[in-house]
Amino acid sequence: MSSLLDKARLMMNIHCLGRNLVTVSSSLHHVQLPAQKEAHFWYVLPDEIKDTNLLNQYFEILSPSEKESVFRMSGERLKKRAILARALVRTTLARYQINCQIDPKALKFKKNSYGKPEVDLQYTEDWNLPQLHFNISHTSSLIACGVTVGSPIGIDVEEKQRRLKNDVLAFARRYFSPDEIEMLTQIADPELRRLELIKLWTMKEAYVKAVGKGFSNSPFNTFTVRLGDHLKTSVDLRPRVMSKAHEITVEPPDDSKNISGNWQFVLLELYGSHYAAICIEQESTNRGKRSIPVNLMLRKTIPFVEDECIFGTDKAVVIGGLTTLLEC
Amino acid sequence: MASFTATSLSMIALASPSLVPSARISSPNSVSLSIKGRNFPSISLQPTGRRFQVTCAAKQETVQKVCDIVKKQLALPEGSSVTGESKFAALGADSLDTVEIVMGLEEEFGISVEEESAQSITTVQEAADMIDKLLQSKC
């Protein structure tokens, strides 16, 4: 074990001293850690990434078991998606270095007892890695990674135009809570109802992923997510304005079975085509008081190539949750 | 008496020599008999303990139905290979697809799946096994 730490120490020193020797694969723009109550949301658009050399670079930073998983995916499109998802996680986390360059390839991951992926800090003590939490979600057209420090995070992204194979209400009756079914039933227009279901799904999924104990420990029909004034058909286009009408709550907030946290949500609409939900845990001292907004930084990225701060554009609109979008 | 078990064959061997069929055992499960110079076709011995499930769905049929439901849910192109070993995630299913697949299976087979079971299904075979188990309990 000590020889492993020695090796890690040696590797770190090589990276620190040998900056000149570092290849283009390490040209990741470094960023400050998220502060408390701050979440960073990074995403890639697979359709923008076509360069096979770049994809090979991404593939090379994956671990052997991640590479194996990629090979098990059926078809080129799914293989590419799997590569991008893992590369996004590794390159994103590697940006939050404290001392020296962190090689994305050197990051190790493990799963918690419920199967949620986490950074494995066991071999990286010497690197002074911060306590980063992350969660990923992917659709065929957008892959996202959310990052926080010191707070569990769950995210989910869905395409707005996603059609269910089942009837919307039948699906809701099977999986959602009574209050949510009631809310959906009251929406007359089938298209609006479908959109509302997709929003609910992303928020519920983000919550379960944030809690990190798996779908079966937090069955969807045991909790209700409410999106403030969901029946408003107009959307507030000024992302920095916080309105009580947009507050998202989850009930019961304190499921004594396994959840004792204070969860806060953000719901975004991206490019008018995707819903993205982010769920993070607030400090428990804040429970019961007026919610403090989540500070959110959005970045579109093509790892090793370019990053774009998403702020003050209609590419990303906050449609739910008390949120302050940050300039990068 | 066209069928023999291995034990009854050895008992016949001890009886009157002129009536003893001489048998060659080529493999444990297959025996060829010749009685008075006439050859009988070899007989396969049935493995003991096999249960014929006449009223419940046979496993292969279940797997096939699950494959069909998965293909439909994921809108896989015709000719896509989906077998018992296929993992839902490897076929591109996300969590929403998986719960829709479970709903489709519930409708198709008239069963009800617990949340805990739903989460543990990751392949076509696991889904088929779970379905057969649920169906057996109904027979």
**What are φ and ψ of residue A205, in 5° steps?**
-65, -45
* Residue A249: per-residue pLDDT: 82
Q: Which residue of chain A has the CA closest to B91?
A: A74
Residue A235's Cα: distance from chain center in Å? 23
d(CA A48, CA B56): 51
Size of interface A-B (CB pairs under 8 A): 52
* Rounded alpha-carbon distances, angstroms, from residue A141 to A78, A156, B136: 11, 13, 42
Q: In terms of CA atoms, which chain A residue is nearest residue B81?
A: A74
Give the H/E segment covering residue A280. strand A274-282
Find the mean pLDDT for residues A109-132.
Answer: 77
Facing residue for B90 by CB, picked from A74, A165, A205 = A74
Contacts of B90 in chain A (CB under 8 A): 72-74, 78
Nearest to A165 among B73, B92, B118 (CB): B73
- pLDDT (average), residues B85-96: 92
The mean predicted confidence, pLDDT, of chain A is 82
Kindly report the backbone phi and psi dihedral angles of residue A226, in degrees, each rounded to the nearest multiple of 5, phi listed first: -115, 130
Whole-structure pTM value? 0.77
Mean pLDDT of A207-215: 89
Q: What was the ipTM of the complex prediction?
A: 0.80
Q: What is the pLDDT of residue A122?
A: 67
Mutation site, B81, B99, B111, B130, interface A, largest A CB count within 10 A: B99
Distance separating alpha carbons of residues A327 and B8, to the nearest angstrom? 88
Q: What SS3 string covers A244-273? A: HHHCEEEECCCCCCCCCCEEEEEEEEECCC
pLDDT digits (tens, 9 = 90+) for A59-102: 999 999 999 999 999 999 999 999 999 999 999 998 887 666 67
